[in-house]
Structures are given as C-alpha cells and as structure tokens.
C-alpha cells in the first residue's frame, strides 16, 4: 500500500539528499549559464562582421566582467536552489523569470549611469535570453528525472505518536513530496492496522528489519517521545549495520521545513545539539563584522540619497517626525535604540500598550505601507549595524516587553538572543511577519535553525534573497 498515491514506486540506486540535490542544481545552473555565455559571444560576434568570434574580438570587445555573468546568474537564481522549490515547476518558472527581470533591471540602471559606449547591450541581451531558456530546459529535465521514484528516498517512521504526527503533517504540506513515505512502525497494539493521515501503521518494532527489506527503505526516522525500549534500540542498530540511515525526528524536520521543531525537543537539546553546533569560529565572526561594515556603508549611502524624498513623502502624508526610535533587545538582551523611517501615525500606541503589527494594520500610514512593502523603512537601521548593535543578518530585533511575554509561553525563546539581531534573516525571508504567539513560535523555529547552521555564505545568500524580496514588494 502506498503512502502517497496508491501505487508503490520502484526504487532505484540513486537517492539524493537535499544537500546533494542543491549541489546538483547549482552545478547544472552554472554549466548551462556558461553554455549561454559561449553562444551569446558567438551571436554578439556576428554583429561585428570584420571581427566575428575571433581572438581579436574577444581581446578588443569583451571586458573581463562579461565572463562573470554565469556567476551573477547563479546568484540571481538563489531562491530556487532550495530542493523543495526546485521540485515545483510553478516556483521554478517564477524564480527564473524573476532572475531575468532583476538582471535586466540592474543592467539597465548600470547602463544608464555608465559612460557612453563603455557597456555592451548586445552581449548582455543575448546572455539573458539564452541563460533564461537554457535554465528553463535544465530545470525541466531536473524535475522530470531527479524527482522521479528512482531518485526518491524511501522513509519509514518509527513512532506514530505526537512527534510522528507532527512529521507527517509537515510532509503533507510539501508538494511535491521530498521523499516516499512508506508508513509507520509503532509498538502500541491499539494502533496496529490503523492509518495516520492516510499512511499505514505497518507493524511493531519487531517487524522493522522485515519491513525495511519489503519496502526497500533507505532511511528510518526515529520519532519516539520518551524512553526507547532496549530491543527497539538494538533493532535500529541492526538496521544501521545493514546500510539504512537512522535519522532523529528533529533532524528530519529541520531538513524538510528548514526550521527547528521547538515543541519536540528535550531540555538537554539546548546544550547537546544547539549550543555545540551553533558555536562558530573567530574567522566567521571577523568575516561577518567586515560584511556588516561594508553592507551598512552601502545601505547608508542609499539611505542618504533617498532621505530627502522619503522625508518629503512622510511629511506630506502625516507630518513629523520623519524617523522614530524604539528600545529593542540586542545580543544577550542588552537594550539599544533602533532607528527606522516612521510608517505609523503619531501616537499609534497612545495608551502605552505594545501591540503586534496586524495584517492591514490601521495604524500604518499610506506612505508607510509603501515603505514597508519595499523595506525602505529599514534603511536607517544600517546605522545600528555600523555601531555594532545589530548585524545585517540575524533574528529580528524585538521589544523587551515582548521578549518577557514570549519567553513565558514559547520554549527556548531566549536562545535567539545568543546572536545580534539583524535587519534581515532566515525567519524574515521565509516567514515574513507575525501577529500571534503561534506565529511567533514558528518564527523562532526559523531563528534557531539559522543560529544553529549559520555561516558566512548563508549570510550572503540571505542578503541576496532579501534584495529579491525588495524587488518583489513582499514586505508588510
């Protein structure tokens, strides 16, 4: 019996994990972008009949930056390097269109302010056209081939309790599914022969090795809440010796959802897993601070350029003040003043009671709504970054009164204060804003995932994804 569509797919030898899928996607995108570069050079050369695609043409007409276009194209596709998004044709199509559009807009801006004759239109135009169609072709082949049953992992979940239910709920939300879920194993006699979310409970742990052989299982997810029986533990060890990968439920949840399941973690997880894995090197700290300084200087430059116009819009819309400051909690809970363009009416909290921002919040001015959607209201925060109170990338800065309330209701909440707050971050690009404690808990899961897995490359990619969100007007 199938856990997905009623037919049991045959499994092949090649089962790619998300990290391997991401690497394959990046290599394929880069390869086809290089092919687009070569063909664009050929067609560009045809515009110069005396030179054609010759050594003289490459030496006299092609600048060094032109050869970097495949790398730039790869960075523009960062949103669809995630295996879950890459498996969806609709999300892939939107991502490629967005990459081509952003690339075209960026080149148009640079071309407009460049000396006449210093940049080529033909070469970049050809590259964008060929990169667009070649990437579409490659991604179509990827979806047809590498999301087929032959490349899908086959998973069995041990434990049909609360943790197992959370995992299958998450699995149901992912379309297309990231792996083939064969079903569950559980030692509760009352659950035998039953189904959970349409997936069968195939037997107890004594049948585990038999089920692994029958279902051609490549991974077993341990979703047992509480103490594990000794014979179950030994059976899992036997399965691991036979080449089956044993994965804890929190690890699989992180892989599927890109966040940490805070309600399914034991208290010692904070020390055993989170703190140990979240430790970073001094080189990372130094690189992150240098990145913060460079990006904040660029951000403040743009802020200075548009400050007079934004000030005028805010003044015409709702008067003074133009900027506002508010106390936020920084690393370790240390308070500091954050600076932003004002987006709400004066005295939005005249009773002194803090309120979360709601969907279509009536306190937000018309100009403020535009500033939030474009994230322009965040630009003054680069001053906080330059001063070292914030980072470009990190959990969203929070008001101290909210921290005290959330800490009482959400497990592990204070762990987000282990790092500096950021203008953008893993939670911001994946989940946007929140209006309830339940939504805050989801954002915390993203924040803890970032703190646990953070590195300099991840920070750079988050900055690029944020730029994409600015062009897409996805703020609120």
Integer Cα distance of 89 and 176 in angstroms: 10
Pick the more confident residue, 173 or 358.
173
Crossing angle of helices 400-409/437-453, nearest 10°? 90
Query: In whole angstroms, how far apart are CA 106 and each of 99, 110, 273, 312, 332?
Result: 11, 6, 42, 26, 39
The predicted structure's pLDDT at residue 383: 96
Above 50 in pLDDT, residue 12?
no
C-alpha 443/C-alpha 432 separation (Å) is 8
CA–CA gap between residue 370 and residue 377 (Å, rounded) = 9
Per residue in 237-262, pLDDT (tens digit) is 998 998 889 999 998 999 999 999 98
Q: What are phi and psi of 326, to 5 degrees?
A: -150, 145
Which of 174, 170, 154, 181 lies closest to 253 in space, CA to CA?
170
Coil vs helix vs strand at 79 = helix
CA distance 384 to 125: 39
pLDDT at 247: 92
Helix axes 366-374, 282-318, angle to 10 degrees: 160
Residues 89-104, mean pLDDT to the nearest whole number:
91
Coil, helix or strand for 279?
Answer: coil
Domain residue ranges in the chain: 18-146, 153-257, 282-348+355-471
Q: What is the pTM of this model?
A: 0.82
Using DSSP's 3-state secondary structure scheme, residue 278 falls into helix
What CATH architecture is 153-257? 3-Layer(aba) Sandwich (3.40)
CB 167 within 8 A of CB 249: yes
pLDDT digits 0-9 by tens, 370-420: 898 888 999 999 999 999 999 999 999 988 888 888 888 888 888 889 899
Binned at pLDDT 50, 70 and 90, residue 350 comes out as: low
Q: How far is CA 71 from the centre of its chain?
A: 20
From CA 153, how far away is CA 14, in angstroms rounded? 9
Helix residue spans in 77-224 (DSSP H): 83-86, 89-112, 121-146, 162-173, 208-215
* Dist. CA 192–CA 184, nearest whole Å: 10
Question: What pLDDT, in 10s, does the model give residues 266-311?
Answer: 766 666 666 666 677 788 999 999 999 999 999 999 999 999 999 9
Listed as own residue / partner, the contacts of 401-407 with beta carbons closer than 8 Å and 24 or more positions apart are 401/354, 402/354, 402/356, 403/329, 403/333, 406/437, 406/440, 406/444
- pLDDT score recorded for residue 59: 65
How does pLDDT run across 115-143, given as a tens digit for each residue?
776 567 788 888 999 999 999 999 999 99
């Amino acid at each position: 019996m199938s856990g997905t569509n009623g037919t049991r797919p045959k499994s092949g030898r090649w089962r790619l994990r998300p990290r391997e899928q991401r690497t394959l996607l990046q290599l394929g995108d880069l390869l086809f972008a290089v092919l687009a570069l070569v063909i664009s050079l050929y067609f560009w050369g045809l515009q110069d009949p005396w030179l054609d695609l010759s050594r003289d043409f490459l030496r006299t007409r092609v600048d060094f930056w032109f050869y970097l276009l495949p790398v730039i194209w790869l960075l523009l596709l960062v949103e669809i390097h995630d295996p879950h998004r890459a498996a969806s044709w609709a999300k892939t199509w939107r991502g490629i269109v967005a990459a081509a559009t952003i690339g075209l807009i960026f080149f148009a801006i640079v071309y407009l302010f460049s000396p006449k004759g210093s940049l080529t239109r033909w070469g970049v135009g050809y590259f964008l056209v060929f990169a667009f169609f070649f990437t579409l072709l490659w991604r179509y082949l990827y979806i047809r081939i590498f999301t087929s049953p032959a490349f899908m992992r086959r998973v069995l979940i041990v434990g049909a309790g609360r943790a197992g239910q959370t995992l299958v709920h998450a699995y149901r939300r992912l379309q297309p599914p990231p792996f083939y879920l064969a079903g569950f194993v559980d030692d509760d006699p009352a659950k035998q022969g039953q189904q959970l979310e349409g997936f069968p409970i195939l037997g107890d742990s004594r049948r585990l090795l038999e089920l692994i052989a029958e279902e051609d299982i490549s991974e077993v997810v341990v979703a047992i809440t509480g103490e594990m029986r000794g014979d179950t533990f030994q059976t899992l060890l036997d399965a691991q010796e036979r080449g089956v990968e044993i994965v804890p439920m929190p690890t699989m949840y992180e892989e599927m959802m890109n966040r940490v399941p805070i309600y399914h973690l034991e208290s010692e997880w904070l020390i055993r897993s989170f703190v140990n894995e979240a430790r970073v090197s001094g080189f990372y700290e130094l690189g992150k601070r240098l990145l913060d300084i460079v990006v904040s200087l660029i951000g403040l430059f743009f802020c200075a350029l548009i400050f007079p116009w934004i000030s005028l819009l805010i003044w015409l819309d709702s008067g003074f003040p133009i900027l506002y400051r508010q106390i936020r909690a920084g690393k370790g809970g240390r308070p500091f003043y954050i600076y932003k363009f004002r987006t709400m009416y004066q005295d939005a909290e005249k009773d002194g009671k803090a309120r979360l921002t709601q969907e279509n919040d009536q306190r937000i001015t018309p100009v403020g709504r535009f500033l939030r959607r474009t994230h322009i209201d965040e630009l003054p925060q680069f001053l906080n970054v330059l001063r070292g109170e914030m980072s470009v990338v990190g959990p969203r800065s929070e008001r101290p009164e909210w921290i005290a309330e959330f800490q009482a209701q959400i497990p592990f909440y204070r762990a987000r204060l282990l790092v500096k707050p950021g203008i953008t971050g893993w939670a911001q690009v994946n989940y946007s804003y929140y209006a309830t404690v339940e939504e805050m808990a989801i954002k915390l899961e993203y924040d803890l995932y970032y703190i646990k897995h953070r590195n300099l490359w991840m920070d750079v990619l988050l900055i690029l994804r944020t730029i994409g969100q600015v062009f897409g007007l996805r703020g609120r």
